[in-house]
Structure 1
Amino acid sequence: MLSFRLAFPLLPFVVMAAAPAAAQKFETPLDPPPDHTRRYADCLKQARSDPLKALPMAEKWHADGGGLAARHCVAVAMFRAGRYVQAAAQFEAIARDMGQDRPRVRAELWAQAGQAWMEAGGAEKAAEAQGRALELNGHDADLWVERALSYAAMLAWPRAISDLDQALRLRPNNVEILVLRAAAWRNAGNPARALDDANRALKVAADHSEALLERGFAYLARGERPQANADFDKVLRLVPPESKAARRAEAGKRGEQPGAAPPAPTAPPKPGGKR
């Protein structure tokens, strides 16, 4: 799963908490010193572009009193460098050390921890971290999708479906979420419900290749090969010949069902625009 959460800094007001307790005091969380804000942004930019170089710099900044902002940059650099377990532990520690303040920022930190655990192959720990995030911000559809994907990795299909239900309550008729739930229903052994969700998605986006694939696989599971092949043929007309979608469609035409986990979206499903 792409790390969209780690592509950007946390909300700017978290920087206030990053100041050394005795050395700097800010009047409000929304008014950090410009030089401190710039250092945080520069550190995260370096962490994204060259994490192995950024990591010792961020660690030195933390040793010099960089506080939570420096620690967050350390965690992002660890993540980008592939040190996922350490990054997850760091994100969680920062969230805990913030106490009861800034629930949305803490939710984002727990979500970032969840992504790191997923990259480390720890789906159960990821779901636990994402659960902590949802306790703080249950109105974030992306969070429900992320935990659903963790449950899918655990083959816990009823839990995945339940979380996708919550995401769809927040974003009704979102095509990407409907496709994910169709895949979850299919894997849960209910192709009729999978077909319903795929059809709902295709009413919104008639040429959506993943929705067509899911409808094809639902038809296949129901033994309706002509309908399945019609969808697989349409996918093959829509996508590049060597693409993953094309390979899945070709497998479907051979009568093969895909693997257990539903495909993760290439970006978090959104109603439009950046989050």
Structure 2
Amino acid sequence: MRFRAIPLLLPPLLWLSTPAPAETINPKMEYRTCLTLARAKPEEGWEEAIAWSSLGGGEPARHCAAVALIGLGKYEEAAKRLETLAGQSRREEPLRAEMLAQAGQAWLLAGKPEQALADQDTALKLVPGHPELMLDKAVTLASVNHYAEVVELLSALLKVQPNRIEAMVLRAVAYRYLEKLELAKEDLSRALILDQTFPDALLERGMIRRLEENNAGAREDWMKAIAAAPESTAADTARRNLEMMDVKVK
């Protein structure tokens, strides 16, 4: 299970003016539907979760409501609800780990990485070695500048998934902060062989080229990152870097 992925894109349940009894709802389908809606349209997902809860939706409805709260920017409330659900749930360990992973993401969005790490560590005890959780934890560790730990964690992940581009790029970022530019460049080279338009890899290679005073190369990479994904965070960062570089050149 990829924790951050949406299982299926299904149309939202159409509620009748007279609600149907809870037992007429297909629980598995409604669970997928509600989570999909909570991620794509959190306000509607929240309403769906509350309506489903009133029809006896139980834990799945509460899970959906908590996910919707993340989209609504209520990060701490979402994290607390997800932690409570994971602690009370008697469902299979992967689902409880998913709840904790989502709680960790919410804590990180709330600017509380220590709480995020605690939830991610607990989730990894439930499903040891899960690549998605390892990547989540690496992102959190990077946010608090624990770059040596990022390298260690992602090196273990890449042994299991050697072609995981996100892990290669994040490890390259960590190597750059650790002033190990040759190792960073090796990771980026491998990542860009797998996907020559991966925006985060292009952004990071531009960073390294800029450090090496290869301004033409940095500009080329950042322009490629913008062209590859104009609305992405990588593109926004590339634009800012280009602006700063142009100011310094002038």
Do the two structures share a fold, i.e. TM-score over 0.5?
Answer: yes
* Amino acid in structure 2 at the alignment position of 1:68: E
Structure 1 residues 42 and 240: alpha-carbon distance in aligned structure 2, compared to 1, 3 A threshold: closer
Residue 89 of structure 1 aligns to a residue whose secondary structure is helix
* Amino acid in structure 2 at the alignment position of 1:62: S
Name the stretch that deviates more: 81-90 or 59-68.
59-68
Structure 1 residues 53 and 230: alpha-carbon distance in aligned structure 2, compared to 1, 3 A threshold: closer
- Report the equivalent of 1:250: 242
Structure 1 residues 202 and 76: alpha-carbon distance in aligned structure 2, compared to 1, 3 A threshold: closer
Alignment counterpart, residue 229 of structure 1, candidates 191, 194, 215:
215
Superposed CA offset, 1:233-263 (max 9, x none): 432563447843642663686699xxxxxxx
Maintained 8 Å contact 1:87/1:116: yes
Q: TM-score, normalised by structure 2?
A: 0.74
- Report the equivalent of 2:81: 90
Maintained 8 Å contact 2:209/2:217: no
- Report the equivalent of 1:68: 59
> What is the RMSD of the two structures over their aligned residues, measured on CA atoms?
3.4
Structure 1 residues 33 and 144: alpha-carbon distance in aligned structure 2, compared to 1, 3 A threshold: farther
- Report the equivalent of 1:5: 4
**1:205 CA drift (Å):** 4.1
The answer to whether 1:154 aligns with 2:144 is yes
Residue 5 of structure 1 aligns to a residue whose secondary structure is coil
Alignment counterpart, residue 224 of structure 2, candidates 238, 241, 249:
238
- Report the equivalent of 2:157: 167
Identity over aligned pairs, percent: 33
* Amino acid in structure 2 at the alignment position of 1:73: C
Maintained 8 Å contact 1:183/1:194: yes
The answer to whether 1:58 aligns with 2:49 is yes
How many residue pairs get aligned? The number is 228
Structure 1 residues 201 and 169: alpha-carbon distance in aligned structure 2, compared to 1, 3 A threshold: same
- Report the equivalent of 1:78: 69
Alignment counterpart, residue 187 of structure 2, candidates 190, 197, 206:
197
Task: Provide the C-alpha distance between the structure 2 equivalents of 1:198 and 1:254, rounded to a whole number of angstroms.
Answer: 25
Q: TM-score, normalised by structure 1?
A: 0.68
* Amino acid in structure 2 at the alignment position of 1:78: L
* Amino acid in structure 2 at the alignment position of 1:44: L
Maintained 8 Å contact 1:182/1:194: yes
Residue 82 of structure 1 aligns to a residue whose secondary structure is coil
Maintained 8 Å contact 1:95/1:110: yes
* Higher RCO (CA < 8 A, seq sep 6+): 1
* Amino acid in structure 1 at the alignment position of 2:72: A
Structure 1 residues 193 and 41: alpha-carbon distance in aligned structure 2, compared to 1, 3 A threshold: closer
Maintained 8 Å contact 1:130/1:147: yes
**1:134 CA drift (Å):** 1.4
- Report the equivalent of 2:19: none
Task: Provide the C-alpha distance between the structure 2 equivalents of 1:4 and 1:105, rounded to a whole number of angstroms.
Answer: 9
Maintained 8 Å contact 2:131/2:157: yes
* Amino acid in structure 1 at the alignment position of 2:144: M
Structure 1 residues 210 and 42: alpha-carbon distance in aligned structure 2, compared to 1, 3 A threshold: closer
Name the stretch that deviates more: 160-169 or 32-41.
32-41
Q: Which has the higher helix share?
A: 2
* Amino acid in structure 1 at the alignment position of 2:159: R
- Report the equivalent of 2:14: none
